[in-house]
Amino acid sequence: MRLGIVQPGIALARLRVGVLISGRGSNLQALIEACAELAYPAEIALVISSRPDAAGLAHAARAAIPSAIVAERDRAGFAAAADQALRARGIEAVALAGFMRVLDDAFVEAWRDRLVNIHPSLLPSFPGLHPQRQALAAGVRFSGCTVHFVRPEVDRGPIIAQAAVPVLAGDDEDRLAARILAAEHRLYPLALRLLAERKLRVVGDRVVIAGATEAEGMLLNPLA
């Protein structure tokens, strides 16, 4: 077990996190870099990919993190195999990072309030596919990203943290996506830290951050 130094002289067990990916894995890489800091309260102990060719698997390999490919097509089969792999590694919390499959309700319930996702919009606006395209079509002045606890309804669930970025004249989907992605890479480590520090309490549909001002769940100036 690796220990994280929370305060000089006090070492606490780090939260063992499993990350589920399907593709590029840039958010996985951001989490790997955060976990490389001695004082960070979480460690990634398993990466599961739903696709054998996911580029993100190389990030796990480079960081010597065990990985597994779970490619079962049906929801229940995928959930059972993923759940077994996570429990076999003693995983305590699961982070979805560009994971493109819908999880079955039993999996979501089994990991309730220990299962988080990042989505490239300011939820509850623009859930689902192509959120950047949706933001451009709606003409919003700000968009951003959200880390939230997962619930059975896709891209819904109590919000842990958000970062806002401007939508600029001349943006197309790719430019806006890149600006949001830079914010995602800072927001996800911040949100996972709050979870690992056991600071999050779900009250109804909302997350209360213990002993903190609301600002802990906001990433201000994400592009600075």
Q: Which of 59, 119, 179, 199 binds ligand GRF (CB under 6 A)?
A: 119
Least distance (Å) between residue 96 CB and ligand GRF: 7
Non-local (6+) Cβ contacts of 224 within 8 A are: none
Cα separation of 40 and 31, whole Å? 10
Among candidate residues 15, 3, 6, the one with its CA nearest the CA of residue 45: 15
Q: Among residues 4 and 144, whose Cβ is nearest to ligand GRF?
A: 144
DSSP state of 17: E
Neighbours of 47 (CB within 10 A): 28
158 interacts with ligand GRF by CB under 6 A: no
Q: Among residues 21 and 196, whose Cβ is nearest to ligand GRF?
A: 21
24 interacts with ligand GRF by CB under 6 A: yes
Query: Which residue number has the CB closest to ligand GRF?
Result: 98
Least distance (Å) between residue 206 CB and ligand GRF: 21
Q: Among residues 53 and 211, whose Cβ is nearest to ligand GRF?
A: 53
The interface with ligand GRF within residues 41-80 (CB under 6 A) comprises 56
The interface with ligand GRF within residues 96-115 (CB under 6 A) comprises 97-98
Among candidate residues 55, 33, 34, 57, the one with its CA nearest the CA of residue 46: 57
Non-local (6+) Cβ contacts of 74 within 8 A are: none
209 interacts with ligand GRF by CB under 6 A: no
Cβ-contact 28, 47 below 8 angstroms: yes
The amino acid at residue 164 is: A
Stretch that binds ligand GRF, among 74-82, 105-113, 116-124, 215-223 (CB under 6 A): 116-124
> Site mask, ligand GRF, residues 167-186, x = CB under 6 A?
--------------x--x--
Least distance (Å) between residue 119 CB and ligand GRF: 5
Strand ranges inside 78-205, DSSP E: 93-96, 115-119, 142-149, 159-166, 200-203
User: Residue count at the site for ligand GRF (CB under 6 A)?
Assistant: 13
Residue 59 is among the residues annotated as catalytic for this protein: no
Strand ranges inside the chain, DSSP E: 3-7, 10-13, 15-21, 42-49, 67-69, 93-96, 115-119, 142-149, 159-166, 200-203, 206-209, 218-219
Binding site for ligand GRF (CB under 6 A): 23-27, 56, 97-98, 118-120, 181, 184
